[in-house]
C-alpha cells in the first residue's frame, strides 16, 4: 500500500464497545480495500485499543494515535487529518458508532473523478431501539447556501486528499460553533461543485451522546433554552455573562464563524465567489444575505427562526466591533501552517 491510496480518519471518544466494534467491522469489510484507517483518540485510549484488537485482529490497515489529551471533536478530527500524507488520493471521515454499507467507499470514491467531495445519504437509526426514523435528504445548492446552512455531514462524505493543503490547520474561533464538516465542505466548494448522491450508504446512529445528531432529529430549542446556552458560552469563552459578552458570543456563533471561514479561504489562496463575499465576507452587506435566507427558507434548508437568530447575530456584531474581531481570528488562522 502506498500513501497515494485512501485514508480514513475515525475520531473516537469513550466509545460504546458494541457500536464501535460494529463500525470497525463495517470499515474492514468495505469492497474498496486499499486504505489506511487512522483512529484519533480524544482522551483515554484503553477502550479503543481493546476493542480494536478484539475486532480487527492483525489487520495492519488500522492504527491508533493517542496521547491522553482531551481536544474536543473538532480538533480531534484535525489531529487525525494531520496524519494523512500530502499525496493521499482520497480521505473519508468516520464517526465511532455508525455502520457503513459494504459499497460505500467504492461508490463515493468513484464520484471524485468529477467532484472534489462526494456524499451519500444515510438511514437514521435510533439506539438502542433500532427504530428507523427516516433518511437524510442532503443536497448541494451552491457555495453561498453551503456557507449559510451546511448540508454536508462528515461521516457521510469522501473528499480528494489535495483539499487538505487548504483545509489544514483548521481555523479557530473561541466558541463551540466550529464544525469540521462545515469547514471542509466550504473548502471543497472552492474546488468545484460537490457530488451528493441519492444512494443510502450507511446507518447514522442517533443517541443521547451525539455531539451533533442529524438536524431532522433535533428539537428546536425554546427561547429560554437558547438564552441559557448563550449565557453559558459567554461565561466559558468570554469570561463573563455581561450584556456585552453575550452580544459578542451571539455574533461569533451566528456570523463571525462564517466571516472567518471566508477570510481564511482567501488568505490561503482560494477564489471565493462574489455572492459568498457579499453575504459573508468582511465587507458583507445585508441585502445579499437576506436574499440567501429567503431562498434557504423556500428550499427548506433553513427555518425562519434560524434566519432571525442570524440577523440578531449580525446586529450584535455591529454593536461590539465583531467584524474587526473576526478578522483578527481569521488573520491568525490564515497565517498558521500545518505540521504533517
Could you report the per-residue pLDDT of 160-218, keeping only the tens digit for each? 999 999 999 999 998 767 899 999 999 999 999 999 999 999 999 986 554 444 444 44
Print the domain residue range for 242.
Answer: 219-334
| Cis peptide bond upstream of 169, omega within 30 | yes
195 and 226 both lie in a single domain: no
Examine the fold and report which residue of 206, 227, 255 is the final residue of a domain before the chain moves on: 206
How far is 33 from 61, CA to CA, in rounded Å?
9
Collapsed DSSP state (helix, strand, coil) of residue 70: coil
Find the length of the chain. Answer: 340
What total of structural domains would you count in the chain? 2
Task: Look at residue 302 and tell me if it is in a domain.
Answer: yes
188 and 69 both lie in a single domain: yes
178 and 254 both lie in a single domain: no
142 and 121 both lie in a single domain: yes
Examine the fold and report which residue of 159, 180, 206 is the final residue of a domain before the chain moves on: 206
* pTM over the 0.85 mark: yes
Higher pLDDT, 96 or 178: 96
Task: Look at residue 155 and tell me if it is in a domain.
Answer: yes
| β-bridge mates for residue 205, sequence order | 125
Asked if 204 contacts 125 with a C-beta cutoff of 8 angstroms, the reply is: yes
In b/e form, how buried is each residue of 110-149, taking b as 16+ CB within 10 angstroms?
ebbeebbbbbbbbbbbebeeeeeeeebebebebbbbbbbb
Instruction: Report CA dihedral (335, 164, 80, 334) to the nearest 10 degrees.
Output: 10
Instruction: Report CA dihedral (210, 117, 270, 139) to the nearest 10 degrees.
Output: -70
Task: Look at residue 339 and tell me if it is in a domain.
Answer: no
Could you report the per-residue pLDDT of 48-79, keeping only the tens digit for each? 999 999 999 999 999 999 999 999 999 999 99
Average pLDDT over every residue of 245-269: 94
Examine the fold and report which residue of 206, 234, 260 is the final residue of a domain before the chain moves on: 206
Asked if 149 contacts 280 with a C-beta cutoff of 8 angstroms, the reply is: no
26 and 49 both lie in a single domain: yes
Asked if 175 contacts 238 with a C-beta cutoff of 8 angstroms, the reply is: no
Amino acid at each position: 500500500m502506498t500513501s497515494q491510496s485512501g485514508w480514513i480518519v475515525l475520531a473516537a471518544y469513550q466509545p460504546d464497545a458494541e457500536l464501535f466494534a460494529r463500525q470497525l467491522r463495517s470499515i474492514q469489510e468495505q469492497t474498496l480495500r486499499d486504505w489506511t484507517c487512522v483512529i484519533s483518540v480524544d482522551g483515554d485510549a484503553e477502550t479503543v485499543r481493546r476493542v480494536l484488537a478484539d475486532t480487527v485482529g492483525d489487520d495492519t490497515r488500522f492504527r491508533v494515535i493517542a496521547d491522553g489529551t482531551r481536544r474536543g471533536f473538532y480538533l480531534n478530527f484535525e489531529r487525525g487529518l494531520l496524519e494523512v500524507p500530502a499525496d493521499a488520493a482520497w480521505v473519508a471521515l468516520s464517526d465511532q458508532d455508525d455502520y457503513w454499507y459494504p459499497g460505500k467507499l467504492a461508490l463515493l470514491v468513484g464520484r471524485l473523478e468529477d467532484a472534489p467531495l462526494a456524499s451519500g445519504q444515510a438511514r437514521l437509526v435510533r439506539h438502542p431501539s433500532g427504530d428507523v426514523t427516516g433518511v437524510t435528504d442532503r443536497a448541494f445548492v451552491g457555495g453561498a447556501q453551503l456557507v449559510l446552512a451546511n448540508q454536508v455531514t462528515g461521516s457521510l462524505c469522501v473528499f480528494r486528499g489535495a483539499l487538505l493543503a487548504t483545509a489544514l490547520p483548521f481555523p479557530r474561533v473561541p466558541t463551540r460553533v466550529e464544525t469540521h464538516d462545515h469547514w471542509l465542505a466550504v473548502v471543497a466548494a472552492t474546488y468545484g461543485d460537490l457530488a451528493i448522491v441519492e444512494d443510502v450508504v450507511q446507518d447514522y446512529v442517533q443517541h443521547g451522546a451525539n455531539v451533533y445528531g442529524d438536524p431532522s432529529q433535533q428539537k428546536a430549542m425554546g427561547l429560554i433554552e437558547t438564552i441559557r446556552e448563550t449565557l453559558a458560552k459567554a461565561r466559558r469563552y468570554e469570561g463573563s455573562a455581561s450584556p456585552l459578552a453575550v452580544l459578542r458570543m451571539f455574533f461569533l456563533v451566528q456570523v463571525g464563524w462564517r466571516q472567518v471561514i471566508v477570510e481564511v479561504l482567501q488568505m490561503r489562496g482560494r477564489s471565493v465567489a462574489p455572492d459568498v463575499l457579499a453575504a459573508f465576507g468582511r465587507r458583507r452587506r445585508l441585502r445579499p444575505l437576506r436574499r440567501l435566507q429567503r431562498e434557504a427558507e423556500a428550499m427548506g434548508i433553513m427555518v425562519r427562526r434560524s434566519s432571525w437568530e442570524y440577523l440578531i447575530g449580525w446586529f450584535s456584531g455591529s454593536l461590539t466591533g465583531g467584524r474587526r474581531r473576526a478578522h483578527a481570528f481569521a488573520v491568525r488562522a490564515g497565517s498558521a501552517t500545518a505540521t504533517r
